[in-house]
Amino acid sequence: MSEAGIELDTVEDQPSFLGNAKKKALEALALMPGAAVLADDSGLCVDALDGAPGIYSARYAGEGHDDAQNRRKLLEELKDVPEGERGAHFACAMVLAQSGRPIVQAVGKVHGSILFEERGENGFGYDSLFYYEPDGCSFAELSAERKNEVSHRRNALKMLLAALDTE
């Protein structure tokens, strides 16, 4: 949007990834009537933390904190959780909004578990803590190409495209 000269900073105050993605899409569409707008919201959900950090993934350690501080907080909260109970998934809600058309939405996930320490240099956010069993490594150890093949965003986009095909 910034490349198109559109300044929009949506307040993510909805109770779900889908709610935040829908709010972003509708606010952007209001600025660009007649356009098609694709918006998403995503984050990490940890089973042992009842789905946290969830919609608060980017600001888990508090406002003004960064990815490293968010990862440290997550590790601290999971320090006593044994290996078999560290299940997690990344979720991505994707919404396509167009003037005069129904909203199309999808939620994609990728399942894994949380490591006891960071591994890998690639990616961002919680990638260095997210263990992806099929490849036997963290998301931060995957190439960008491989991560894009299996990610929650890819899964959401595939579901969104499938929903468009049924219209």
Q: What is the pLDDT of residues 15-58, one digit of tens each?
A: 999 999 999 999 999 998 888 999 999 999 999 999 999 999 99
Mean pLDDT, the chain, whole residue set: 94
CATH number for position 28: 3.90.950.10
Domain residues for the domain of 136 are: 14-165
* CA 115 to chain CA mean position, Å: 18
- Say how far apart CA 79 and CA 152 lie, in whole Å: 26
Collapsing DSSP to helix, strand or coil, 53 comes out as strand
Find the radius of gyration of the CA atoms of the chain: 17
Count up the domains in the chain and report the number: 1
Q: Which residue has the tokens 């000269």?
A: 5
Please indicate, yes or no, if residue 83 is contained in any of the structural domains. Answer: yes
Segment 115-124 shows an average pLDDT of 94
Q: Which of 9, 13, 41, 165 is catalytic?
A: 41
5, pLDDT greater than 90: no
Please indicate, yes or no, if residue 4 is contained in any of the structural domains. Answer: no
Please indicate, yes or no, if residue 5 is contained in any of the structural domains. Answer: no
* Active-site residue flag, 41: yes
pLDDT interval class at 165 (50, 70, 90)? confident
Q: pTM for this structure?
A: 0.92
Torsions phi, psi for 141 (to 5 deg): -95, -10
